[in-house]
Amino acid sequence: MKNILISIGYCMMMTFTCIAQDNTPYWLNEKINKKNRIPMHASYYVYESEALALKGAWKQLKNYLDLNGVQKFKYLESPSELPMGFERVSFDDTTWDNFKIPANWDVNGYGYPVYTHTTYDFANLITVNPPQVPTLYNPVGVYRRTMIIDKNWNDKEILLHVGAARSNLSVWVNGEYVG
């Protein structure tokens, strides 16, 4: 069995563009919209047999691990507030909230509820100035979870499917940045 810690820094960075500079953080660089991501495609599951596929019980597959449930969670109003070393396995997240996913921050007491389809959903909070990405108020959520990966997965390619990320998403596994 392998113990795996996944830290996901999910920055609600909106979908703006910006002018790239040498010292620009990647989330401000409009030319970077993916790192180590496989090409997008329709969701599907790989079943061990045709009989299992006919049952459609994909959550019971040997090659599936459901990451929904309680995770450690830290809400911040800006990427500049990220705690140093949050991605390290040894980082102390005991004071962080327990947050059950799937869920939206804004309907669970973090940030401001967003209900709009006609304007920028944050226009009442900051001055909207495309292509500039807001840096003072630009909410970030960090999720941490430790899990055990079955030894049968040792020689397999493991893919992380995040079903709903609003804008920018970064993933670390066991303290190593993966994309």
Pairing of strands 168-173, 176-177: antiparallel
pLDDT, tens digit, 9 for 90 and up, residues 50-68 = 888 999 888 888 888 999 9
pLDDT in tens, the chain (179 residues): 556 655 555 444 333 333 334 577 877 877 787 888 888 888 888 888 888 899 988 888 888 899 999 999 999 999 999 999 999 999 999 999 999 999 988 889 998 877 666 666 667 777 777 777 788 888 899 999 998 888 989 998 888 888 877 778 899 999 999 98
Q: Please give the CATH topology (third level) of the domain spanning 2-177.
A: Jelly Rolls (2.60.120)
- Give residue 96's pLDDT: 98
* Residues 53, 167: Cα–Cα separation, whole Å: 33
Q: Which residue has the tokens 């596929």?
A: 53
* Residues 100, 96: Cα–Cα separation, whole Å: 13
* Residues 72, 86: Cα–Cα separation, whole Å: 11
DSSP state of 26: G
Sequence spans of domains, the chain: 2-177
Q: Considering the entire predicted model, what is its pTM? A: 0.79
From first CA to last CA, the distance across the chain in angstroms is 24
Read off φ and ψ for residue 107, nearest 5 degrees: -100, 10
- Give residue 18's pLDDT: 33
- Give residue 4's pLDDT: 61
- Give residue 99's pLDDT: 97
Long-range contacts of 126-132 (CB under 8 A, 24+ apart): 130/16, 130/17, 131/16, 131/17, 131/18, 131/19, 131/30, 132/16, 132/18
- Give residue 11's pLDDT: 44
